[in-house]
Structure 1
Amino acid sequence: MAFATRRRQDCHSVTRHRRFSALLTAARRSGPGLSLCTSLAFTALAQAPAHAQARLDAQYEATLAGIPVGRGSWTIEIGDDQYTASAFGGTSGLLKAISNGSGTGAAQGRVVNGALIATNYSASTTTSKKTEAIHITLANGNVKESGIDPTPPVDPDRVPVTDAHKKNVFDPMTASLLRVPGNADPLSPDACRTGAAVFDGRMRYDLTLDFKRMETVRADKGYRGQVVVCAIYFKAVAGYIPDRPVIKYLQSARNMEIAFAPIPGTRFLVPFRMVVPTPLGTAMLEATQFITQANPHSPKTQ
């Protein structure tokens, strides 16, 4: 964009710098905000199971107010009796020039009667100032052990996470894979009538979906077709600081949404696009590549 004077260019640059700095600060503190919109970019490559029913290789671009701020990749393999989901991502564009960051993580588990039962989840984020690693071990939906390295300081204002909060939960990545039971077309309004209890290693929160619309999308590479768009609602349960503005904002937001696309050969839907309006502009994570491959020799997950 052309500007009439150098002064206007400088003012615009300072404004964008402040907006990105504010975004970075909010992202570091948000926890669930990252889970909703950018955690796909902050995960790690994992070993794939043999004889997969289906595989997804996806690449995403994150934008804020239409300006690119990050890129990530996501790989999912669903087998007859096990699954892995993994990704890698980092900042890009102007945000990278201001504060470089990247992340890795992975989720693994078993496939039992068509459902994904996580056994391990890990994630790490690295910025110019610090590196943080989270790990969770689960058994039948219950957290057996979890930790953050380095151990964060104790904040007396944080709502404590109890053992009861760690039962019947999903890790953030497994929670992103939407399973649609039954035999009908999984890509339907019924797919949105669900929710999940999530523990990300620090915070316990609930996500609830509701149907919004059907839509047609087109990735630069790969998928072209319908998606089901769900509204998503966030409720903090434990592990959060009630007075933190990002928590209040996410809990009151009524215009966040996720568009889910299918993985052929399974009854699972995967986020194709996620939209989270923020005071700094609309944050969006959208697939630029969404390539799926079904194994014709494997039975469809029920």
Structure 2
Amino acid sequence: MPPSLVRCLAVTAVLIGATAPALAGSGAVAIRYAMTLAGLPIGAAALDASVAGNGAYRIKVSARVGGILSLVSDGKGAATASGRMGTAKPMPTGYALNNISGNKQQTVQMVIADGAITDVAINPDLRYRSDRVPVTEADKRGVIDPVSAMLMPVAGGGETMAPAACDRTLAVFDGAQRFDIKLAYSRMDQVASKGYSGQAVVCSARYTPISGHRPDREQTKFMAANRDMEVWLAPVAGTRVLAPARIVVGTQIGRLVIAATRFAQGGGIADPTEANAN
């Protein structure tokens, strides 16, 4: 898979996580997505999340990239996270990623306590690069993993579909890199998918690398300067949460669009190969 697209997909995964459903009380929800690049189908993704009555949560995100990209490379991956919902944000305790691209596999496991990373295992280890910005211990505090970022409670008792829903900056650590994703209100729009058709609040997004990155790499510079990133948020029935109905990320080889084809209450849809099923 082209390196620039890998970075864009990584940021996109966090955009999905930045606004995906947190369940009020207890329950489960699943969303299927179709993915296109420059208008061509490249794969699918799925999200399955559940929250128990005591606040304990578990999330699985999975994706498969192929389509026209299979001429260059193919890839699939799945990530899980667990923890307990706090009053304002999730408090993750564990995160795991298994990613396969071509004939290469990478796994990441993290243990988290009170917002601090206490243990990280990456296999294979990252290659040493003299230009890589070191990750400090301070960079591993006050953070959230990319998958737990998808549990976002909407505080208060007012309208959930409001500009304030976009007022978020996510401090993310993925096991190798520390970065921020800042959301800001852009406009209101309309979306349509099986399970939800109606109004959405649209947030612009900006990526800011903090550490673990290589600042002189072309794709790092591109993503840090990228202003073509947006996420459409739609309500999840029966909860005070918003979920991503559509995501756009500009890349160096065309626009990446991830669009929800189905919202489902009750969970159980985590197979990305079924993302376009009726």
Taking structure 2 as the reference length, what is the TM-score of the superposition?
A: 0.87
Q: Structure 2 residue aligned with 1:55, among 3, 6, 28?
A: 28
- Aligned amino acid, residue 171 of structure 1: D
Q: Distance in 2 between matches of 1:267 and 1:119?
A: 23
Hey, what does 2:139 align to over in structure 1? 165
Mark the CA change 1:102 to 1:273 in structure 2 (over 3 Å): closer, same or farther: same
Hey, what does 2:159 align to over in structure 1? 185
Spell out, residue by residue over 1:29-60, the C-alpha distance to the aligned partner (whole angstroms, 9 max, x if none). Answer: x2xx2233246999xxxxxxxx9723211111
Structure 1 position 97, deviation (Å): 4.4
Comparing both structures, which one devotes a greater share of its residues to helix? 1
1:27 and 2:5 matched: yes
SS in 1 for 2:60: strand
Q: Distance in 1 between matches of 2:48 and 2:263?
A: 10
Q: Distance in 2 between matches of 1:218 and 1:132?
A: 35
Structure 1 position 145, deviation (Å): 0.8
Aligned pairs for 1:1-302 (under 5 A) are 24-28=2-6, 30=7, 33-38=8-13, 53-80=26-53, 81-113=55-87, 115-219=89-193, 221-293=194-266
- Contact 1:40/1:88, CA 8 A, preserved across alignment: no
Q: Distance in 2 between matches of 1:199 and 1:188?
A: 28
- Contact 2:80/2:97, CA 8 A, preserved across alignment: yes
Larger relative contact order, structure 1 or 2 (CA cutoff 8 Å, min sep 6): 2
**Identity over aligned pairs, percent:** 33
- Contact 2:75/2:99, CA 8 A, preserved across alignment: yes
SS in 1 for 2:243: strand
- Contact 2:29/2:265, CA 8 A, preserved across alignment: yes
Structure 1 position 73, deviation (Å): 1.2
- Aligned amino acid, residue 147 of structure 2: M
Spell out, residue by residue over 1:197-221, the C-alpha distance to the aligned partner (whole angstroms, 9 max, x if none). Answer: 00011100011111011112111x2
Q: Distance in 2 between matches of 1:264 and 1:54?
A: 11
- Contact 2:89/2:152, CA 8 A, preserved across alignment: no
Q: Distance in 2 between matches of 1:284 and 1:182?
A: 31
The size of the alignment, in residue pairs, is 260
- Contact 1:214/1:226, CA 8 A, preserved across alignment: yes
- Aligned amino acid, residue 129 of structure 2: D
- Contact 1:178/1:270, CA 8 A, preserved across alignment: no
SS in 1 for 2:4: helix
Whose radius of gyration is greater, 1 or 2? 1
- Aligned amino acid, residue 146 of structure 1: V
- Contact 1:53/1:265, CA 8 A, preserved across alignment: no
- Aligned amino acid, residue 41 of structure 2: P
- Contact 2:250/2:256, CA 8 A, preserved across alignment: yes
Spell out, residue by residue over 1:125-146, the C-alpha distance to the aligned partner (whole angstroms, 9 max, x if none). Answer: 1122210001111111111111
Hey, what does 1:5 align to over in structure 2? none
Taking structure 1 as the reference length, what is the TM-score of the superposition?
A: 0.80
Spell out, residue by residue over 1:140-186, the C-alpha distance to the aligned partner (whole angstroms, 9 max, x if none). Answer: 11111112111121111100001000000011122233332111121
- Aligned amino acid, residue 25 of structure 1: P
